[in-house]
Amino acid sequence: STTNDSLMARRQAAVAGGVGQIHPVFTARAENATVWDVEGREFIDFAGGIAVLNTGHLHPKVKAAVAAQLEDFSHTCFMVLGYESYIQVCEKLNQLVPGDFAKKTALFTSGSEAVENAVKVARAYTKRAGVIAFTSGYHGRTMAALALTGKVAPYSKGMGLMSANVFRAEFPCALHGVSDDDAMASIERIFKNDAEPSDIAAIILEPVQGEGGFYAASPAFMQRLRALCDREGIMLIADEVQTGAGRTGTFFAMEQMGVSADITTFAKSIAGGFPLSGITGKAEVMDAIGPGGLGGTYGGNPLACAAALAVLEVFEEEKLLERANAIGERIKSALNTMQVEHPQIADVRGLGAMIAIELMEEGKPAPQYCAQILAEARNRGLILLSCGTYGNVLRILVPLTVPDEQLAAGLGILKASFDAVLK
């Protein structure tokens, strides 16, 4: 019979080495916050397919909506023959994305594609080519997104220099000694040393860095960026691919920042496990590119649009924003208790249910424990993820639909794993 080991051997032989896999586990089935592997083992899923499953695996409503769409048609290409669900998703996002102005939306397939298109729109609208991105930011693996991603290994290692016209500012992170003032000064340095503000089309950032380590920008910092962008005619792009779709306790994290972006990207949990992404922005900005300049064969695929509309209904019906905050509080309080016994748990933080545990020892990042804790937790039936520019952060992206008892069981496994590894 099929085993994880046999599939791993075939994977090694057949799949390109650049495609990583965090856990040596192969999936047979999944439902809400539970995954079963090909050997029949059951796992609690705290990874959620990297922030894609805020409504859980195969939410019955999402499944039913996709099944119904599958009876009608699966593809026409929206650029050839339109369909209402694409328009409905755009209408909904125009409402949900923060910003007190008329908005328009375009749909794509992956987060990287959303980022690429956000930059294209900003370039077309401003007639400028420069972009400022941040240290440890993550924006994707396609070429322009990769140029914006602020971490060489493993993302662009061995591929040569990425495209020019990207300038790197420091992301504010008090825990690692970068203040809001330092971060603002790093932008002023770019203006002094590298490029005039009038050559910068956009400043792109994640309101809470995801892959970089779950570090939140402060509302005050975001407001300073907004003021700078307003002064210099620069587009502010909020990459909400990971923070969006309710993870942080508001539908978009920018709602908690007191200012809005000109262009917002979304993907991941917006369609509950189906590939859908998009950008929403000021109507006049979004219209800067003429017909044919935006799109893609699969962008806004009908199955994915049906899923997204169901996800939005589930958020309302099940009050998942409130649930995100409740879950987040419960997880943080459990972690704070574990912190008492394990001083290596240096920081517990998170907006809503986007929770990080940062491991340090003697004042230094302690990535050596992350892999051990991931393995220990997996052996005990819990799937976790790590992240962080120093690789020393454990992150929790559990479905917001997780039953209370299962959440408690997962946190119990986490505690047992800390007890086993952090002696």
Residues within the interface to ligand PMP (CB under 6 A): 50, 110-112, 115, 138-140, 206, 210-211, 239, 241-242, 267
Min CB(364)–ligand PMP separation in Å: 26
- Nearer residue to ligand PMP within complex by CB, 63 or 141: 141
In this structure, are residues 298 and 82 in contact, taking their beta carbons and an 8 Å threshold? Answer: no
Q: Return the number of the residue (241 or 279) whose C-beta is nearest ligand PMP.
A: 241
Nearest distance from C-beta of residue 133 to ligand PMP, angstroms: 11
Nearest partner of 33 among 343, 384, 301, judged by Cα: 384
Any residues with CB less than 8 A from the CB of 404 and at least 6 apart, and which? none
Question: How many whole angstroms separate alpha carbon 206 and alpha carbon 221?
Answer: 12
Distance, in Å, from the CA atom of 361 to the CA atom of 350, rounded to the nearest integer, reads: 21
Residues in Cβ contact with 375 at an 8 Å cutoff, skipping those fewer than 6 apart: none
- Nearest distance in Å: CB 265, ligand PMP: 7
- Residue 181 C-alpha from the chain's centroid: 26
Kindly state the smallest distance separating residue 353's Cβ from ligand PMP, in Å.
Answer: 15
Please, which residue, 180 or 239, has the CB nearer to ligand PMP? Answer: 239
Instruction: Concatenate the DSSP letters of all residues of 120-155 into one string.
Output: HHHHHHHT--EEEEETT----SSHHHHHH-S--TTT
168 beta partners = 133
Which is closer to ligand PMP, CB of 209 or CB of 401? Answer: 209
Q: Least distance (Å) from ligand PMP to the CB of residue 210?
A: 4
Nearer of residues 80 and 153 to ligand PMP, judged by Cβ? 153
> Three-state SS for 77?
coil
- Residue 142 Cβ vs ligand PMP, minimum distance, rounded to whole Å: 7
Nearer to ligand PMP, 37 or 240 (CB): 240
Rounded Cα gap, residues 334 and 319, in angstroms: 23
Backbone φ, ψ for residue 133 (5° rounding): -125, 175
Give residue 39's Cα distance to chain centre. Answer: 30
Q: How far apart are CA 246 and CA 315, in angstroms?
A: 8
Work out how close the CB of 326 gets to ligand PMP at its nearest, in angstroms, rounded to a whole number. 24
The residue at minimum Cβ distance from ligand PMP is 111
Cβ-based nearer residue to ligand PMP, 237 or 357: 237
